[in-house]
Amino acid sequence: MIAVVKVGSSSVTTATVSRLCEELASARAEGHAVVVVSSGAIAAGWTALGRGEQRPTDPAVLQAVSAVGQHRLMRLWQDGLDPHGLLAGQVLLAPLDFVHRTQYLHARGTLRHLMQLGVVPVVNENDAVADEEIRFGDNDRLAALVAHLVGAQLLVLLTDAPGLLTADPRHDAGASLIEEVVEIDHQLERLAGGPGSPAGSGGMASKLAAAKIATWSGVQAVIADAGRPGVLTASLGGQAGVGTVGTVFRARERRLSARKLWIAFALGSSGTVTVDAGAQAALAERGRSLLAAGVTGASGDFRPGDAVEVAGPDGRVFAKGLVRVPAQGAAEWMGRRSQVVVQRDDLVLVT
């Protein structure tokens, strides 16, 4: 089995990393290949600089702090792997690596060769040069995309919570663990809150979004407590859920192709086109291409080849695709029956 294990900033401590490395070594001895996606460069850099507990928010400062902390983060993982005779290999990724097909293939090749060489890849966002990652990102989404990139069967999202709960435990003492999720729906998404720790940039909402990406690509996902002894071993052994280690999200039987997953989750949206009820039915129920005749509005600054969201008459987004027309001059192409706006092979239903 290939597994991707993401460790959040609040869990990147010497004791936790050391224990996880021991479990990781056991997993490798059993024939599993593990890719680690580790947050913590900014937190490590800020601690090294001794500037206090309040994390900076300015993107330029975050880039500089990340540069200070990245090698410290890698040293922490290598120190944890040393007693087990394993090497860590640093891989820094940015959104561009998932947008451009050539770079996507290069990234996949690098990770696969590292695993073949017996090296443990330790992946992080390329914070020091990719301000988009810092502005929008945490590593949850990155981990889900990496899981698809390497053909993993399991994504384990380790955090400081026991899993997905029925309510925010900070406000509801009766909150309980949701042991198994078959389908991620709007009700579950409403349960997720914002960032839960000052050390990290994510939260349960980002972990749920990452689990959705994973399950849509045919990868089972687990959200579990990084502080629980044996958490990685239990997750790899299929014990997640059923009250044992965390929340397990079952992979969808109908998975998205690599291309459609790339369109749905790796590409940022450059705008929105709104369609009428007839066009929505043609796209959602009959798998047709989007023609300009069904478009009632366009917003954003998109050009041919950009990704756009597709919203129905009620304004709710239900699809995403690669557009074939520019936003500029939309009044000229809207309503033209023969004009293809999004070809069906470039369209993904996201609800």
pLDDT band, residue 198 (cuts 50/70/90): very low
pLDDT of the residue at 230? 92
- Specify the DSSP class assigned to residue 323: -
- pLDDT confidence of residue 243: 45
Higher pLDDT, 196 or 330: 330
| Structure tokens given for 257 | 């192709």
Per CATH, 2-256 and 268-349 having the same topology is answered: no
> What is the overall mean pLDDT for the chain?
87
Q: Collapsing DSSP states into helix, strand and coil, what is residue 90?
A: strand
Strands (E), the chain: 2-7, 33-38, 88-93, 120-125, 154-159, 180-181, 220-225, 246-249, 269-275, 290-291, 295-300, 307-311, 317-322, 340-342, 347-349
Quick check: 26 pLDDT over 90? yes
What CATH number has the domain spanning 268-349? 2.30.130.10
pLDDT at 239 over 90: no
Q: Taking residues 18-30, what's their average pLDDT? A: 96
Q: For residue 244, what pLDDT is reported?
A: 62
- Number of H helices and E strands in the chain, helices first, is 13, 15
* DSSP letter assigned to residue 227: T
pLDDT (0 to 100) of residue 231 = 93
Comparison of pLDDT for 98 and 34, the residue scoring more: 34
What is the SS3 assignment for 305?
Answer: coil
Over 80: is that where the pLDDT of 137 sits?
no
Res. 240: pLDDT tops 50: no
- Whether residue 13 has pLDDT greater than 50: yes
For residue 15, name the pLDDT band (cuts at 50, 70, 90): very high
Per domain, the residue ranges of the chain are: 2-256, 268-349
**Sign of the dihedral defined by the CA atoms of residues 139, 144, 149, 153, in that order:** positive
What pLDDT sits at residue 336?
83
Structure tokens given for 289: 């291409």
> Residue 71: its pLDDT value, please?
95
Is pLDDT at 195 greater than 70 in this prediction? no
pLDDT of residue 199: 47
Chain-centroid distance, C-alpha 253: 20
Residue 202, pLDDT above cutoff 60: no
Cα–Cα distance between 294 and 300 in angstroms, integer? 18
Backbone angles phi and psi of 36, in degrees to 5: -100, 130
Share of the chain above pLDDT 90, in %: 57
Burial of residue 134 (CB within 10 Å: 0-12, 13-18, 19+) is: buried
pLDDT digits (tens, 9 = 90+) for 269-321: 899 999 999 999 999 999 999 999 999 999 999 999 999 999 999 999 999 99
pLDDT, position 311: 96
Q: What pLDDT does 109 receive?
A: 96
Q: How many Å apart are CA 147 and CA 131, to the nearest integer?
A: 23
Tallying the residues shown for the chain, one arrives at 351
Q: What is the pLDDT of residues 259-270, one digit of tens each?
A: 788 788 777 889
Q: Measured between alpha carbons, how far is 34 from 23 in angstroms, rounded to an integer? A: 11
CATH of domain 2-256: 3.40.1160.10
| pLDDT tens track for 177-189 | 898 998 888 788 8
pLDDT of residue 129: 67
Residue tagged 């460790």 (tokens) = 7
Quick check: 201 pLDDT over 50? no
Give pLDDT tens digits for 97-131.
Answer: 877 778 889 999 999 999 999 999 999 988 666 65
